[in-house]
Every structure is written in C-alpha cells, then in structure tokens.
Structure 1
Amino acid sequence: MRNWPIFRLRVTTPRLELRIPSLDDLDELGDRAAEGVHDPGFKPFLFPWTDAEPAGRARSTIQFQFGQWSQWSPEKWGCSFVAVLDGQVVGTQELAATDFAVTREVSTGSWIGQRFQGRGIGTEMRSAVLHLAFDGLGAQHATSGAFADNHASYAVSRKLGYLDDGIQIHNRRGKAAQLRRLRLPRDRWSTPAGFEIHDLEPCLPLFGVSRTA
C-alpha cells in the first residue's frame, strides 16, 4: 500500500522474519493464541487476555492488531510484528513508543506459542526489534518489564544487556505483584551478525523520525 508503507517493513535474522501481519498471518497468530501461550495458572500478563477460552483468545489477538493500526500516529505508535520461522507464524513482537521524536525511547513486549518456546526464539525476536529501534530509528533507550515470577522474560533481558530500572507494584487479578522494570541504553547494544532491516525509509515519518535525523 502506497499510503501505508508499514506493511512492507520487515526485519530478518538468521532464522526469523518479522513482518507486519497480513490477514492470513493474523489468522495464524490467532491459532497460536488459541493453542496456548503459557502453562495453566501462570500469569505473565497484567491484562488477563489468556484467561479467555481458545476462540476468545484468537479473536482478541486479531482485534488488538486492528486497534494498533487504527490508533497509530507519529506521536504514539505500537508496531506489532509476527515472527515467522520456516514459513510458520510462531508469535508476535511489539515495539512501541510515545513522543519518540523527543524521547528516543521505545518499549517492547512479546509472546510465543507455547509449543515453540525453549528454542531461543524470544531472544532473537527481541534482538530484531532492538536492531530496528537502535540502528534503524535512532533510539537511545529501550525499556522492558516482567513480573518477578516471569523468569524466562527476565532472562532474555539479562542476556541482551538490560539494566535494572526499579520496580512497580501492580494489581494482578486482585493480588499485588511486583513488576521488574529494565532499561537498555544504546551504548550497551551491539547488533548480532545477519540481522537486516528492509523497506524502512518510507516508514520513517510514521515513527516520528525525520529523514535527516
């Protein structure tokens, strides 16, 4: 689409392609959500979307993406990619920012279908959007966060060089839960070999980035 070039944006890694999802991709991502994202009883998300029955999880996954597209502006955007491994959608990786032109700060969030976990895909997905943020968009900081019992997410952040950035206490399904904030400054990031960004230039205004920045 000439007037919405974000659909052509891709980030590739040695194993993965991250792309803005087509309708077919969204259908497949909904299937991953329906199949399951975590063990029963585990609560990795503040908003309890995974508590819904499988069809509800699939629908909310698709609706979330439509909502991001409709609300996108250069001042506040959320860019959710699907991660594709060997031609199959395995999960989603978000990069988001508010007033990026001023703050040069992004945040990330992700999930992977449960049957694809444990293969290092989460680290590779996060690295891909950090490459986009730091090397493509000129970000100076990336933030993330995980509840204290989400050891897998915290391990990914640690592996990529994030620093502790304080804690927050949230109401998670009626109980207090500690969220660990994490921050990665630009000078602690080094892009791994084999990572590439495709068709970013036409998208820069959508991210609030000047072509001369």
Structure 2
Amino acid sequence: MGGRRVVTGHWPLFDLELRTPRLRLRVIRDEDLEAMIEAALSGIHPPERNPFSFPWTSATATELPTNTAVHVWRTRAATDPDAWTLPLGVWAEGTFVGVQDITATGFRALRCVGTGSWLRSSAQGAGLGKEMRAAGLAYAFDYLGATAAGSEAAAWNEASLGVSRSLGYTPNGVRRELWGDQVEDVQYVHVSPETFRRPDWELGVSGHDSVAAFLRLP
C-alpha cells in the first residue's frame, strides 16, 4: 500500500498522488485552480450538447472561474469520513487535462463509490479518459477497499458509456431524469473488483496512509 509520508499543510488529502504510464493524479489544491479553469475554458464538449447532469460548463467565461473555485472549496469543506469526494486533478506531460472524481456517502458501511470525470477537448481521443478512470477504480478497489463502483451518463453519451464498457461496467438500469435543462434517459452502470477489466500497468500510489487515517478506514 502507500508508503508513509510527512503530511504537508493541514489537509491530509493533499498527500495523495496516483501515477499511471501517462498521467499523474492528485487532489486539487488552490494553486491548481488557474490551470483547472484554463482547461475548462479551453472546451470540454460541443456547445449544442452538455454531458453533465449539472450544466456547469454553460456558465459564461466571466462566471466559470469563480464557480469553479467555489465548487472546489465547497467540496473540500464538506468532506468527512461519512461523505467525501476526492477531486483528482489529472496531468499529462505536465499539463492539466481534466478531473477524475471519486465520491462516496456512508462508505465505511456501504463500501460503494461513484466516479465522474471530464477531459479537455484537446486531450480527448487518446485513451486518457479510460486511463484516468482505471486509476480511480484501481485506487478505490485496492486501497480504499471498495466493493462496488457506479457511474452514469445520458444514454446518448457513447464516449462515456464506451469507457465504462471497456472497463467492465455492466448496465444497472435506465431512468428518465432532468439532465441539466433537458429531460434525458440516463444509463446507470456498475462494476466490482471481480468484473473490473484491469489495465496492463500497475498503479503507483503515494500518500494513501494520510487518506486512510482521515477517512477512518482500517
């Protein structure tokens, strides 16, 4: 598991870092906000179709920076052992390319997590979305001790659902929901450690002990 390190600062989750062959993932810090905002403003999806259940990318270029910072701070302030989000910034060759979230409610009892992510348009199409989701799943299953992971996407979002299928997710029901300002069929999917199609690389992890202690995990 992750080796012991000296905690820097007052937020132990900042110690966590995940490494894949092409990516580095760590919990977003205030000094990362400028790069995160620049990545979001550079474009994530075509303007005519928003893949997010909360259409945060529809904010104006003036509003989005403040909204992004508030979201990161609110997520951090709301984190405790019973309900938490690990908002992992994703870097490729030193450039901030997106975010991979791992979320949970009642995790110590339920052992279930959810995942969500976004990737700047210029980094799409090279398999990075699959690699960063695989990193999140490997960490959740092998280090946090999750027994199941769920995700969802609008039924038309084949890019997201294709990544899910490639990693071993199976369908878990379709619901008709308000998705942003549109009514959509939403496909739910789930995966377990047994059905997870693991990549052919080993995840590098450091700082896990700080996370486990803060979340009161065994």
Q: Scaled by the length of structure 2, what TM-score is found?
A: 0.92
The counterpart of 1:126, out of the listed 125, 133, 157, is 133
Mapped partners of 1:48, 1:65: distance in 2: 16
Contact 2:15 2:210 in 1 (8 A): no
| Partner amino acid, structure 1, of 2:175 | Q
Higher RCO (C-alpha 8 Å, min separation 6) = 2
Change (3 A) 1:208 1:167: farther
Residue 119 (structure 2) aligns with: 112
Shift of 1:173: 4.5
1:171-206 deviation per Cα after TM superposition (whole angstroms, max 9, x unaligned): 134442011000001211254313111110121033
Mapped pair 1:64 → 2:87:
no
The counterpart of 2:40, out of the listed 33, 39, 44, is 33
The counterpart of 2:151, out of the listed 119, 144, 168, is 144
After alignment, is 172-181 or 130-139 more displaced?
A: 172-181
Mapped pair 1:202 → 2:218:
no
| Partner amino acid, structure 2, of 1:92 | V
After alignment, is 146-155 or 200-209 more displaced?
A: 200-209
Alignment of 1:45-56 (within 5 A): 45-56=52-63
Gaps of 5+ in 1: none
Residue 91 (structure 2) aligns with: 84
Mapped partners of 1:98, 1:119: distance in 2: 32
Mapped partners of 2:179, 2:13: distance in 1: 34
Change (3 A) 1:2 1:173: closer
Residue 154 (structure 1) aligns with: 161
Aligned length: 210
Q: Scaled by the length of structure 1, what TM-score is found?
A: 0.94
Gaps of 5+ in 2: 1-7
